[in-house]
Amino acid sequence: MLLLIAIAKIARGLGCSVGAVRRKYNLWQRYGDWRDLVNYARLPKSDDDRRLFVEWWQALCIVHGRKCASAHRDFICRFRSGQMIPGIGSDAPRDRLPEGCGYASLIRLAPKKFEPAAVAISTRKKPYQDGFARRARATVRRRHAETA
């Protein structure tokens, strides 16, 4: 009786059903692994995979000139042909897209208007590249030697 009250209280606090909490509790009781209690819908198993995929998707959108429809078609072709895509395991079934890889989901992850411009600016040569700093240090040393 106390267990049912505790499970109901936990379910209210987590915002999920009593059945879901009971299933997780039973798994924990059976195997004794605390990871059975984690709700992976709210905490993905690996954020690195997702980050890698989002970076790859945004680069693909930039290559397609921020045209997400053509980038998504290219993604589907690459996925179905079996090409390695960062963040998607090689064991993923290729007959259907993985969860969260539909057009409606990926359009939200597309790069914003300013991001391609920021990438272009960050890849330009900076004034301190190509020996500029070395020449500036040499000039300062020479002037310091002349005054001494």
CB under 8 Å, gap of 24 or more: what pairs does 51-54 form?
A: 51/87, 52/86, 52/87, 53/85, 53/86, 53/87, 53/88, 54/87, 54/109
Selected residue with higher pLDDT from 131 and 13 = 13
State residue 3's pLDDT score. 87
CB atoms within 10 A of CB 23: 12
- Which tens digit of pLDDT belongs to each residue from 34-60? 777 776 666 555 677 778 888 888 889
How far, in Å, CA of 78 to CA of 87, rounded?
A: 14
Q: Which of 19-23, 27-31, 37-41 has the lowest mean pLDDT?
A: 37-41
Residue 17 DSSP symbol: -
- Which tens digit of pLDDT belongs to each residue from 90-105? 778 888 888 788 898 8
Query: Residue 18 — pLDDT band, cuts 50, 70, 90?
Result: very high
- Which tens digit of pLDDT belongs to each residue from 60-94? 988 888 788 999 999 999 999 988 888 887 778 88
Given a contact cutoff of 8 angstroms between Cβ atoms, the answer to whether 20 and 50 are in contact is no
User: Mean pLDDT across the chain, nearest whole number?
Assistant: 79
State residue 134's pLDDT score. 57
State residue 72's pLDDT score. 93
Give the orientation angle of helix 18-31 with respect to helix 2-14, to 10 degrees. Answer: 120
Q: Which of 27, 47, 52 is CA-nearest to residue 37?
A: 27
State residue 124's pLDDT score. 58
Give this prediction's pTM. 0.51
Where b means 16+ CB within 10 Å and e means fewer, 32-52 reads eeeeeeeeeeeeeeeeeeeee
